[in-house]
Structures are given as C-alpha cells and as structure tokens.
Amino acid sequence: LFGGLEEQKPDALLALIGMCNADPRPEKIDVGVGVYRDSAGGTPILRAVKAAEKILLETQQTKTYLGSQGDAHYVELLRPIIFGDAGDQDRIVGVQTPGGCGALRLGADLIAKANPEARIFVGQPTWPNHMPLIECAGVKMVAHPYYDRDSRSITFDAMMDALNEARAGDLLLLHGCCHNPTGADLDLDQWKAVADLVARNGLVPFVDLAYQGLGNGLEPDAAGTRLVVEAAEQALVAHSCDKNFGVYRERTGSLFIKGRNRTEAGKVFGNLMSLARTMWSMPPDHGAAVVRIILDDAELRADWNTELQEMCARIRALRARLAAFDPRLAYIDGQNGMFSMLPLSKEAVVALRSEHGIYMADSGRFNVVGLSDESVDRFAAAVVEKL
C-alpha cells in the first residue's frame, strides 16, 4: 500500500526547532518559529491562562461532547474582539476550530465545496503553509506580488494590478495584521483601496488573523479586517488565539463567515458543521475553554490585556533597537508583529547558522521577539555583515 509514497521533506520551519535544539552552543539565537519569547528567552504560560486553567480544573463538571461547532460561548466572546460593533453581525456565523490552521483548512474545504472554480489570490511571499494547506483542499491559488525583499517595501501597485484580474466570487487571502513572513502590513488607506476593490468587483476576502494584539493592539490590529469584511457581501475570517493567549499547542482557533443574508449564513453554518465532522469531528476543548474563562471574567480579562500589551511593547522595543543599530535595518521599526524579513541569500542564512548559531528561516524571515536584550546587538552585527 505505502510503497508508492514519495519521500517528504520535513516542514522547513518546524525542522528549525529541532536543528536549534540540537546545537550545543549556549550563545545560539533562536529566531525561527513564531513563538513569543520573554527577555530570558522563555515562552512562559500567561498568568491569566494559568489562573483560568485552575478554575477549569476546579469547576469543570463534565467532558462530554460539545458538538462540531465547539465552544459556542468562546466563539461569541471573540466576535466583538474581531468585528467590533460593525453592522451585519447577524449575517456572520462562527465556529471553533483546531487553531488558525484548522480555520484556514475548514474555510478552504467550504470554498472547494461551494464553487470548485473559485480561485484564491495570495500575495507573495506568504506563510509557507498557506499554499499547501489550501491547495490540499483542492482550491486553485493565484500568486501575486505583495512585498519586495530587496527594497523592503510592499509592492502595492503591482498587487492592485494583479487583483484587478480577479473575477467576482474569487477570494483574496489577506493577512489581517502582523504579516507573516514580512511584518509589512497594509496601511489604512491601502486597506480602504482593497475594500473598495472587493466591493466593486464582488470579491471575497479570506482574512487570516493569527496575531491580533501583537502588532499595535487588539483594536488597531483588527481595523483592516473590519474594513474589508464590511465592504464585502461574503467574507471569511480565520482567527487564532494560539499566539495572543500563548496557548500554541492547544490549537485554539475559530472561523467566521459572512453570508449574503441570514438564510445563507445559516446554510454556511450547516455546511461547516458537516465538513468539520468529517475532518476532526469536534475541536479540542482545553484552549477554547481557557480563553472563554478569561474573556468572561473582568479581572482575568484585564490581566490578559496587560500581558498582551507587555508582549506587544517588547516586540516594538526590539524592533526599535534593531532599527537603531544600522540604517539598513531601519525599516524593521515600521513593521508589525513577530516577523521581519532580511534580504539575505540562503547561503548567508546557512552561514549565520554555522558561524553564529543564529537560526532563522531560509527565506530570511526571523522572529524579532526571539531576541533577548543580550543577543539583539550580537544578532544585528552578525546580520549586517551579510547584507
């Protein structure tokens, strides 16, 4: 049966974790996979999460099934965080998913089922798992320019030219904030231009909002998403709490979909239920239960907000420090979230690994917050030498 399978290369990003762990040098710098790190290099569990887990342990009465939609209250608590008080809420349905990946995959499966001819336009570069994950569902993807690594800037005109080719019903995969892998987000005027295009040409935004709160704060980080969702007749938003609650391995996501009207939204919900049933049946509970407890409790929610703001401030401070180190790194300060991309050749990236124990993705993407107060200048000096 399995003889015909082709060998697969390990996922390059996840392989970096193993490579870095295996490096015995104490001064190694892990700026690979996108997890938040504190100034000591750790990824501790948030206070609010620990407190919610205690409450969960003490008060949970049953572990019986919740159904394919997962924890409906968790989903409803996220709704205002993502959409604010935007109109048309009664046309938006939401379900819990196993992480942001699960949300993307469920959305892609729904698209394939609804219209096998639909295409998803996706800016380049993008998170390396985007294309395989969505193509796996059988949806055709169309790559278009987004960011130029060498000039360190968004190629907005080229992007809009390419998006003009999209037909009514085609989808635009958009990074809601904290663009992965570049850190280069659209500004509000650019989001407005995309929203206008969406409305004019009947396009369907598919927003990946995986880092809300880690760019400029919860509200500003949702501004672009809200603009395009409001402009669109139909839209999808894949959301993740894995990063902003630091519950990575708990796989805590959700998918929201806006239909043309309430009847269509209801039909979408039913289809999400039946698709989820065939993939994971029901999403894992723990992460969503923890997030629900935090968001439902004023004190825990305030504490989580404080912790999120601290994480965000640390990222911003590291960005400012890198930018101040050398004019060639100045662009990093104007970007958002965990990632930025260095215009380095693959050889340079590999050399940084062997010479300095610096572990970043082959693309030149690095996790800004993987740096510590001690390592940031060392990192900058090593990198600048290779630019």
CB 262 within 8 A of CB 298: no
| Closest alpha carbon to 32 in 355, 325, 371 | 371
What residues between 23 and 82 interact with ligand LMR by CB under 6 A? Answer: 33-34
| Closest alpha carbon to 238 in 133, 119, 138, 313 | 133
Residue 244 within binding range of ligand LMR, rule CB under 6 A: no
Residue 134 within binding range of ligand LMR, rule CB under 6 A: no
Instruction: Decide whether 34 or 287 has the Cβ nearer to ligand LMR.
Output: 34
Q: Is 242 exposed, middle or buried (0-12, 13-18, 19+ CB in 10 A)?
A: buried
Residues touching ligand LMR, count (CB under 6 A): 6
In the set 210, 231, 265, 323, the catalytic residue is: 210
Dist CA 367 CA 139 (whole Å): 30
Instruction: Decide whether 203 or 238 has the Cβ nearer to ligand LMR.
Output: 238
CB 141 within 8 A of CB 122: yes
In the set 109, 185, 208, 221, the catalytic residue is: 208
Residue 243 catalytic?
yes
Instruction: Decide whether 214 or 322 has the Cβ nearer to ligand LMR.
Output: 214
Task: Go through the chain and tell me how many residues it has.
Answer: 387
Of 127, 304, 331, 359, the one binding ligand LMR (CB under 6 A) is: 127
Residue 111 within binding range of ligand LMR, rule CB under 6 A: no
CB of 358 to ligand LMR, least distance (A): 16
In the set 71, 191, 232, 243, the catalytic residue is: 243
CB of 231 to ligand LMR, least distance (A): 27
Residue 304 catalytic?
no
Residue 209 within binding range of ligand LMR, rule CB under 6 A: no
**Radius of gyration for the chain, computed over Cα atoms and rounded to the nearest angstrom:** 21
Residue 211 within binding range of ligand LMR, rule CB under 6 A: no
Residue 9 catalytic?
no
For residue 274 the two structure tokens come to 């039946």
Q: Where are the beta strands (DSSP E) in 150-295?
A: 153-154, 171-175, 204-209, 235-240, 252-258
Instruction: Decide whether 34 or 213 has the Cβ nearer to ligand LMR.
Output: 34
CB of 250 to ligand LMR, least distance (A): 13
Number of residue whose CB is nearest ligand LMR: 34
CB of 11 to ligand LMR, least distance (A): 8
Instruction: Decide whether 180 or 336 has the Cβ nearer to ligand LMR.
Output: 180
Dist CA 213 CA 337 (whole Å): 9
Residue 336 within binding range of ligand LMR, rule CB under 6 A: no
Give the max Cα distance, the chain: 60
CB of 179 to ligand LMR, least distance (A): 11
Instruction: Decide whether 198 or 368 has the Cβ nearer to ligand LMR.
Output: 368
Residue 126 within binding range of ligand LMR, rule CB under 6 A: no
Q: What's 197's DSSP letter? A: H
Please name the helix (run of DSSP H) or strand (run of DSSP E) that holds residue 331, with its range, or none.
none
Of 69, 155, 180, 252, the one binding ligand LMR (CB under 6 A) is: 180
Instruction: Decide whether 365 or 386 has the Cβ nearer to ligand LMR.
Output: 365
Q: Establish how many alpha carbons lie within 13 A of residue 303's alpha carbon, considering only the half-sphere containing its beta carbon.
A: 15
Amino acid at 37: R
Of 115, 124, 129, 305, the one binding ligand LMR (CB under 6 A) is: 129
Residue 190 within binding range of ligand LMR, rule CB under 6 A: no
CB of 34 to ligand LMR, least distance (A): 3
Q: Establish how many alpha carbons lie within 13 A of residue 167's alpha carbon, considering only the half-sphere containing its beta carbon.
A: 5
| Peptide linkage before 220 cis (omega within 30 of 0) | no
Q: Where are the beta strands (DSSP E) in 210-322?
A: 235-240, 252-258
- Name the β-bridge partners of 206: 173, 236
Dist CA 233 CA 242 (whole Å): 29
Query: Exposure pattern of 276-308 as b/e (b: 16+ CB <10 Å)?
Result: beeebebbbbbbbbbbbbbbebeebeebbeebb
Residue 108 within binding range of ligand LMR, rule CB under 6 A: no
Residue 103 catalytic?
no
In the set 52, 109, 127, 258, the catalytic residue is: 127
Instruction: Decide whether 33 or 120 has the Cβ nearer to ligand LMR.
Output: 33
| Residues known to be catalytic | 127, 208, 210, 243
Question: Where do contacts with ligand LMR occur on this chain (CB under 6 A)?
Answer: 13, 33-34, 127, 129, 180
